[in-house]
């Protein structure tokens, strides 16, 4: 080793890993490509989306069915409600003619918003992987 004058700062040494020269790992495949090529992983992704959409559809359908099916049951179990009149019209007619349509609209709106949210979450997952 050569002697340097004391006023000169020491030389910098670069320390590297022996793996620096190793070949890099192949880039991972995007999840959308897995779906496009219908691989096993792509099927898992699609099955999860379909399962969440089916769960949402069945829950909205069940809630709507309970509410719509509950009205005739209410009228059968509580004859006083079935015989009641409001604004000169029988209450069952008003409920079935007026209440049902806004309820169906709200159920449809809820379903669409939740389905869009499920799809947005699905695309977020795909973009992360």
Print the domain residue range for 63. 31-128
Phi and psi dihedrals of 20, rounded to 5?
A: -60, -35
The answer to whether the CB of 35 falls within 8 A of the CB of 45 is yes
- DSSP letter, residue 98: I
To the nearest whole number, what is the mean pLDDT of the chain? 84
> Which pair of tokens denotes residue 122?
């699905």
Which SS3 state, helix, strand or coil, does residue 90 take? strand
Write down the pLDDT at residue 25.
62
Cβ neighbors of 95 (< 8 A, separation 6 or more) are: 71
The answer to whether the CB of 126 falls within 8 A of the CB of 31 is yes
The pTM of this model reads 0.65
87-122 pLDDT tens trace: 888 888 888 888 899 999 999 999 999 999 999 998
- Count the domains in the chain: 1
DSSP per residue over 39-73, as a string?
Answer: -HHHHHHHHHHHHHHHHHHHHHHHHHHHHHHHHHH
pLDDT at 27 over 90: no
Residue 90 lies in a domain: yes
Residue 13 lies in a domain: no
Residue 104 lies in a domain: yes
Residue 43 lies in a domain: yes
42-74 pLDDT tens trace: 788 889 999 999 999 999 999 999 998 898 898
Residue 98 lies in a domain: yes
Residue 5 lies in a domain: no
Range picked from 8-12, 26-30, 104-108, 119-123 for highest mean pLDDT: 104-108
Residue 7 lies in a domain: no
From CA 86, how far away is CA 35, in angstroms rounded? 56
Q: Where is pLDDT greater, at 27 or 79?
A: 79
Residue 35 lies in a domain: yes
From CA 59, how far away is CA 53, in angstroms rounded? 10
């Amino acid at each position: 080793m050569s002697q340097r004058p004391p006023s000169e700062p020491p030389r910098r040494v670069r320390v590297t890993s022996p793996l620096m020269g190793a070949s890099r790992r192949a880039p991972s495949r995007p999840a959308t490509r897995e779906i496009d090529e219908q691989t096993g992983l792509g099927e898992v992704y699609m099955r999860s989306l379909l399962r969440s959409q089916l769960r949402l559809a069945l829950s909205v359908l069940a809630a709507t069915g309970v509410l719509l099916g509950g009205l005739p049951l209410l009228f059968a179990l509580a004859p006083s409600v079935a015989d009641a009149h409001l604004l000169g019209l029988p209450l069952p007619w008003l409920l079935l003619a007026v209440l049902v349509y806004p309820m169906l609209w709200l159920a449809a709106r809820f379903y669409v918003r939740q389905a869009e949210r499920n799809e947005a979450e699905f695309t977020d997952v795909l973009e992360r992987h």
